[in-house]
Amino acid sequence: MGYFLYPLGAMLLWAGNVIVSKLSATTIAPSAITFYRLVLALAVMTPFVIRPLLRNWHHVRPQLAKLGFLGFLSMSFYQSLSYLAAHSTTATNMAIVTALAPLLTLLWSVVLLREPPTLGMLVGGLLSLAGLVYLIGQGHPSQLLDGGMHLGDILMLIASASYGLYSVLLRRWHVAVLPAQSTYVQAWAALITMIPMLAMVPAGQAQLNAATVPLVLYAGLGASIVLPILWIQGIRHLGPNRCSMFINVLPVMTAAIAVVLLGEQLHTFHVIGGGVALVGVFIAQRWQRPLPGFGGVEDSDEVPA
């Protein structure tokens, strides 16, 4: 029973990272906090990873291009968009849209892995779309026709789609590199891509001070190092499919923390829209019957990290 604490702990840290994203919106530029968290994570990882990596360099070198693109998707593009999204949407909305990542991963797998679409994808996808429209329309979907979606919600949806693409490419490419070394190389690639972005940030928005250092510490240590360790341990003991179900608690944890720390209000449209969207994700993952005219489909091992 204690093994369930691993994915639960990972989701708690992920919820905390969403809160950090909101707090950083008024204190530091998205590019700056993304850059600093990567620097911190690499500084901590280097003493443990660099020697094994150098010994295994002949296996790693042919995979550098793939690892570089994976690092850009997951650690640079995704993180920067999530920090940017925090400027114009709530932490609760961010968490709910993030929880759609497993569904988006399944959709990417149809396109890139040629996996047959299932009834679960169709029904779950429509349910999730309906829930998302209800959520973003704040209980009045017709408002979207008048005012459109909030920029932050759009950015968070793009970020989740990019993470879904990362998950599918990770599976498709079968990069034969040890996880710690793969993460380390990806982090370096992401850091390199962030350098020109940081150079364009005004000096006043990239400062490390009493307000920004705690945010960078949490993002660089808690979210970048401890969270993946807990998630990997959960997968090891419970399996990827069981662990993937825990992402449904991310919006609940985030909303609870946001109400206490950020003073956000939990509305009925959060519960209804978010609940319908998450039910859709669950159906898409569990209902594996193929659509008429398509072949069978195997259970996916892809899970959010």
pLDDT in tens, 62-85: 999 999 999 999 899 999 999 999
Residue 299 maps to a domain = no
CA separation for the pair 305, 297 (Å, rounded): 23
Amino acid at the residue 140: H
Is position 300 within any domain? no
**Cβ atoms of 163 and 106 closer than 8 Å:** no
Is 185 within the bounds of a domain? yes
Q: Which residue has the tokens 């999204």?
A: 85
Beta-carbon count within 10 A of 238 CB: 17
Any domain includes 109: yes
Indicate whether 305 belongs to any domain. Answer: no
Query: What is the 8-class DSSP label of residue 118?
Result: B
pLDDT band at 244 (very low <50, low <70, confident <90, very high): confident
pLDDT per residue over 277-295, tens digit each? 888 888 887 787 887 766 5
Whether 216 is covered by a domain: the verdict is: yes
Residue by residue, DSSP assigns 236-272 as HHH-HHHHHGGGGGHHHHHHHHIIIII-PPP-HHHHH
Domains of the chain: total: 1
How far is it, in rounded angstroms, from Cα 126 to Cα 281?
A: 10
216 or 180: whose pLDDT is higher? Answer: 216
Identify the domain containing residue 126 by its residue range: 2-286
Residue 59 to residue 263: CA distance in whole angstroms? 50
Q: pLDDT tens for residues 105-164?
A: 888 888 888 888 888 888 888 888 888 888 877 777 776 666 667 789 899 999 999 988
Yes or no: say if 75 and 188 are a contact pair by the CB < 8 Å rule: no
Model pTM score: 0.85
- Beta-carbon contacts of 21 under 8 Å, excluding residues fewer than 6 positions away, are 82, 83, 85, 86, 91, 94
